[in-house]
Chain A
Amino acid sequence: MGLLDRDLWKEVFTTLSKNMLRTFLTTLGVIFAMVILIGLLGATNGMKNGFNQIFAGTATNSMFLWTQRTSMPYKGFERGRSVDLRLEDVALIKREVPEVDDISPRIQLGNFRGTVTVIRGGKSSGSSVYGDYPTIDRMSKKRMVEGRFLNQKDIEGARKVCVIGVDAYKLLFDKGENAIGESIRVNGIYFTVVGIFKRNDNINFEGENAVFVPFTTFQTAFNSGDEVGWMAILVDEDKKVAVAERKIKALLKRKYNIHPDDPRAFGSFDFSQIFEGISAFTLVLSGFSFFVGIFTLLAGVIAVSNILLITVKERTNEIGIRRALGATPKVIRRQIVMESIVLTFFAGLVGFIISIGILHGLDIAFGQTDDAPFTNPTVSIIQVVVSFVLMVGLSILIGMIPANRAVKVKPIDALREE
């Protein structure tokens, strides 16, 4: 007479199905609880996925570094001096700071976030023009719509090629017009378009009307020498960006005679911090969802127990008969607990199905655009299994209350009750 005993199951199902309305009402609490639990978890996961999509293509263990004006006098230099990063610094940092995986120096025509006029025939676009190394792709992935991104050969040969964003394409070309192999003009210099990109993430400084040319080409074409605008620095996966950042800044301050405590001389932007912040946020949110969900579930299971407690009272006579006919306390207890488990489990299942439907609806309603805050809101198998195990565990524990009440009924009292 184990759990797989067909007769026990039949007893349980007969009892429950003979009282359909009561059974249904009993389960409502658990159904709602499960909807809330799975719904919250799914929504949190959807939010997490949304964040992940925002960050997709950005190496999270990376940082930007640029120079600003000094804010402290040092070694005879006055404050307010500006220094420029040089190409040689790339090699210096790579050599001196072991945490650094890769560095992509970059230079921009005009000021930071400034634009220049890019011309093709009678059309023009106000675009940011960057001199870049192909390694930038490791830190901020570009989704190529057509053609290719810059490569090492472009750098070595200082080829006059460029990669343009879709917005720049729209301004410079007619709809559907082939752009690859066509020339565009920047400050009187012609570049051949080799690729069109679409931004892949929501964090970028370039925008979709940017124009990328090889760094070496930029140097000769616009006469920028060894100057570097800023650096995108990729840090080893297992190292802290903050540590590398501190070392790099200290190194450069020594080199450029800047006060070691000067907080303003170098600016930087640490992606990992933002990412960690968001990770922590979603983690707390998941934890909170689970917490709320579990307690709602507990309330639902207690409602089941409560109803079973009432039905035990109602069924006093029946329980008395069963005991007079030879049902041991164990058998009675097991039947009530099984009723609790079966009710809770099926209610949970129904709630689960409803919540999956709701999440699917949310996904259709909000999750389909590129920059959706809400992407693919689903729950993991582990979350589902944990939820169900907790639910069944709770239903066993709490089912013991009405079960023990049923056992306490004396057969003699039960039979007298009419």
Chain B
Amino acid sequence: MIEIKDLHKSYKMGSNSLHVLKGINFTAEEGELVAIMGSSGSGKSTLLNILGMLDEADSGEYNLDGVPIKNLSETKAAKYRNKFLGFVFQSFNLINYKSAMENVALPLYYQKVGRKEREEKAIKYLEQVGLKEWAHHLPNELSGGQKQRVAIARAMAAEPKVLLADEPTGALDSKTSYEVMDLIQNINDQGNTILVVTHEEDIAHMCKRIIHLRDGVIVEDKKIKQVRASSYVQ
């Protein structure tokens, strides 16, 4: 599903150049649930941004579902993002003047799906994350966990190939974090490929594989025995 070969990325900071990614190689199969770990500055967010086509690598190869991702125009990148990827952010990034349902329906709008179908789908995905009753509420009427569930529903609405989650539990208390991870595990159980960036050990162990990044290189890549989040959720 995801294939990365010798990925390099550096940022210019005035006269110095900061080499953030120093040759990353990894492959993720369909249906995997991968945690990308590392301390701050290890390059994990940069990697995720490149995977999400929000940023571009300086060199190296990136294939997503067999499609080479290289030298994309903004328009092409937008279309690929819409088609291939779902995003979940630490700060939820919901549009605050749109209801939960409108937020979830937004990627479908950019896919030019008709209004009725869009709303039906949005409701369906909200139901999956257990927020059907909250469909017409604005984000500021929801709790943090609920917001993140709306964000996950939005990421799933476009039926992406890969779900990219950047610190999805970073702004949540541990109980809510486990609820969100439970949801992510359920989505993964349905066969979706998910990448989770986190620096929390317990969250990482709820994935099926952990990749450790340090100073721009992968120092460890291991399959683990998944801890079910539901065992924490009462």
**Residues in chain A within 8 A of chain B (CB atoms):** 1, 6-7, 11, 14-15, 18, 317-318, 320-331, 407, 410-412, 415, 418
Contacts and interface: CB of A to CB of B under 8 A. Distances in A.
B91 A14 contact: no
B158 A326 contact: yes
Contacts of B223: none
B232 interface: no
Contacts of B89: 415
Given A7-B109, A321-B93, A415-B93, A326 B54 contact: no
Contact of A328 (B52, B74, B97, B109): B74
A6 B75 CA distance: 22
B95 A318 contact: yes
B96 to A, nearest CB: 8
B74 A322 contact: no
A6 B110 contact: no
Interface of A, helix, strand, loop or mixed by DSSP: helix
Interface residues of B, number: 28
A338 to B, nearest CB: 15
Contacts of A15: 97
Given A327-B110, A415-B89, 4 more contacts: A320-B93, A326-B78, A328-B78, A418-B91
A224 to B, nearest CB: 90
A326 B55 contact: no
A23 B234 CA distance: 48
Contacts of A412: 49, 54-55
B111 interface: yes
B83 interface: yes
Contacts of A317: 93
Interface string B81-107: 111000101010111011000000011
A13 to B, nearest CB: 12
A142 to B, nearest CB: 70
A329 B74 contact: yes
Contacts of B78: 323, 326-329, 331
B75 A329 contact: yes
B8 interface: no
A1 B110 CA distance: 10
B83 A326 contact: yes
A324 B94 CA distance: 12
B79 interface: yes
B154 interface: yes
Contacts of A415: 54, 89, 93
B180 to A, nearest CB: 19
B222 interface: no
B82 A325 contact: yes
Contact of B110 (A320, A326, A418): A326
Contacts of B94: 321
13 contacts: A7-B115, A18-B97, A321-B94, A322-B106, A323-B81, A324-B52, A326-B158, A327-B78, A328-B75, A328-B78, A329-B74, A412-B54, A418-B91
A138 B81 CA distance: 80
B112 interface: yes
Contact of B95 (A1, A321, A328, A331): A321
